Copies of this chain bind each other. A is one copy, B any other.
Amino acid sequence: MERSYIETLQWRHLRYDRWTDDQGDIPRGTVSWQGRLLYGYPRIGRILNLRVGLDEQFGGAFWVEEKVDGFNVRIARLGEDVVAFTRGGFLCPFTTDRLPDLMPMDIFAEAPDLVLCAEVAGPESPYAEASPPYVQEDVRLFVFDMMRLGQPGFLPQRQVYELADAHGLPMVERLGSWRADDSERIAEMLARLDAEGKEGAVFKAVDGSRRIKYTTAHASLEDIAVAAPQLNDFSAEYYIQRVLRLALFLDEQGKQVDADLERQLGAAFLEGLEASIEQLRAHGRVFHPYSCRFRSERAAREMMDHLVRLSGKRVNVRIHGLEREGGFWRLSFERQPPVMTGLLSHLLKGGELFD
Q: What is the chain B residue whose CB lies nearest that of A54? A: B350
- Does A313 belong to the interface (CB within 8 Å)? no
A162 at the interface (CB under 8 A from B): no
A56 nearest in chain B by CB position: B350
Knowing A352-B212, A353-B46 touch, does A269 contact B243 (C-beta < 8 A)?
A: yes
In the complex, the answer to whether B52 meets A348 with C-beta atoms within 8 Å is yes
- Contact flags (1/0) for A218-260 with B, using CB distance below 8 Å? 0000000000000110011101110110111011000011010
Binds B, one of A77-85, A140-148, A271-279: A271-279
In the bound complex, do residue A269 and residue B265 qualify as a contact, i.e. CB atoms below 8 Å apart? Answer: yes
| A352 and B270 form a contact (CB under 8 A) | no
Flag if B266 contacts A248 (CB, 8 Å).
no
Interface size class of A (residues with CB under 8 A): 35 or more
CB distance from A280 to the nearest CB of B (A): 10
Please give, as numbers and ranges, the residues of chain B lying within 8 Å of A13 by CB-CB distance.
Answer: none
Question: Which listed residue (B43, B52, B212, B265) contacts A270, Cβ 8 A?
Answer: B265
Residues on B with beta carbons closer than 8 Å to the beta carbon of A259:
263, 267
> Cβ of A264: which chain B residues have Cβ within 8 Å of it?
262, 266
Residue pair B262, A49 in contact (C-beta under 8 Å): no
Instruction: Report A329-355 residues with CB < 8 Å from chain B CB.
Output: 343, 347-355
A41 to chain B, nearest CB (A): 14
* Contact, CB under 8 Å: B270 / A247: yes
A55 within 8 Å of B (CB atoms): yes
- Known A243-B231, A263-B263, A264-B266; contact A352-B237, beta-carbon cutoff 8 A: no
Residue A114 at the B interface, CB < 8 A? no
A-B pairs, 3 with minimum CB distance: A56-B350, A262-B266, A236-B236
| A326 to B246 CA separation, bound complex (whole angstroms) | 45
Which chain B residues border A37 with CB–CB below 8 Å? Answer: none
Q: Identify which of A52, A273, A352 gathers the most chain B CB atoms within 10 Å of its CB.
A: A352
